[in-house]
Amino acid sequence: MTKRIECIENTRRCVVKIGSALLTRDGSGLDTEAMSSWVEQIAAIRKSGIEVVLVSSGSVAEGISRMGWERRPTSLYKLQAAAAIGQAGLIQAYQSFFEKHGLQTAQVLLTHDDLSNRRRYLNARSTLKTLLSLRTIPIVNENDTVSFDEIRFGDNDTLGALVGNLVDAELLIILTDQQGLYDSDPRQNEQAQFIHDDDAMNAKLLAFAGDAGTDVGTGGMRTKVMAAQRAARSGCATIIASGREENVLGRIMNKEALGTFLHAGREPLVARKQWIANQLKPQGQLLIDQGAEKALNEAGRSLLPVGVVKVTGDFERGDVVECTSLQGAILAKGLVNYSSAECVIIKGLSSRAIRDVLGYVDEEEIIHRDNLVIL
């Protein structure tokens, strides 16, 4: 049995993400015919006993279309205005289509700030799971009307992966305007080879992936691969497929080999470490030496001051920071026990020396292994 078939047979909850270019016919307004078809397919999946969360782009693009603007604005406030204008029409359209199949929808708008706060993260998780238990179709979008650069997810591929983490989904399906992932850009290379399946954590995939092909959305194939990697940390597989394929969702759930299947390839992280790895934005970086790298990767130890070479960023105790190798690779993320100013003072020292230079000791470790996630 292939990993794709095994995954689909074991799927009890899935997340479907639909991008802006698909939903709005590359920015010319909502494609209601296509929306009706996707809704019909989602309804069939739900009626088969599988719970579905829909992550939908399109509010900004729909707002731009309604306002008659010829191109996507660069002003943050105009983008927020477009989202406010377009969101109403987007949800109204979805609700009318789902009602025809006897299903109730629920609108959920999130910002990264919602998920970086542990209490609000747990509240969002509980709300989504309650909505699913009520047999509704939660429709999730980034809250573009209040988001600003520091708290934006940046694209709904990332949001789809985070929602998959939130609800413990087994499968994330990303519908796009491409057939899936190639080893090079098929628009520029006729010899590009299609990738049918791979491990989501394969580092080569990011090298294959490109950026967005239109100015309607903010994502691209690279963000889809990164989303698959985020999803994999919670044991969730990802399928990237063309939303323009006839009955694409139904055929995927019937185990047809459409699109690119990226399997998790690892045991899921415990819930708290999923939150650290996926929901929190790093506030700084700690460059670590080879000894510390080996201790983290091979021995599962905490990060001690002696292994830190350089401190970058402005962070406080309890913030999340990245641990990077001397070659610049991101090795881990964790909740730091000391501020950036304190880390600068104690870096390279033994734990016994912390009290001598700071006058106090909060913890012997800069990051305790219980608060550290190896990436």
Strands of 330-335's sheet in order across = 308-313, 284-288, 320-324, 330-335, 372-374
Q: Which of 296, 234, 292 is nearest to 266 (CA)?
A: 234
Q: In the structure, how many helices (H) and strands (E) does the chain have?
A: 15, 13
E strands present in the chain: 13-18, 51-56, 105-110, 137-142, 171-176, 197-199, 237-242, 260-263, 284-288, 308-313, 320-324, 330-335, 372-374
- In this structure, what token pair is assigned to residue 190? 């006729």
Q: Say if residues 80 and 245 touch (Cβ distance below 8 Å).
A: no
| 214 marked ligand binding residue | no
| 223 marked ligand binding residue | yes
| 259 marked ligand binding residue | no
| 226 marked ligand binding residue | no
| 113 marked ligand binding residue | no
Q: Say if residues 238 and 228 touch (Cβ distance below 8 Å).
A: yes
| 57 marked ligand binding residue | yes
| 222 marked ligand binding residue | yes
CB neighbourhood size of 316 (10 A): 13
Q: At what angle do helices 76-99 and 32-47 cross, to 10 degrees?
A: 60
| 144 marked ligand binding residue | yes
d(C-alpha 246, C-alpha 198), whole Å:
24
Q: Say if residues 89 and 52 touch (Cβ distance below 8 Å).
A: no
Using the Cα atoms of residue 175, residue 42, residue 129 and residue 113 in order, give the sign of their dihedral: positive
E strands present in 64-179: 105-110, 137-142, 171-176
Q: Say if residues 166 and 158 touch (Cβ distance below 8 Å).
A: no
| 145 marked ligand binding residue | no
Binding site, by residue number, is 17, 57, 144, 156, 176-177, 218-224
Q: Which residues are known binding-site members for ATP? A: 17, 176-177, 218-224
Residue set of the binding site for substrate:
57, 144, 156
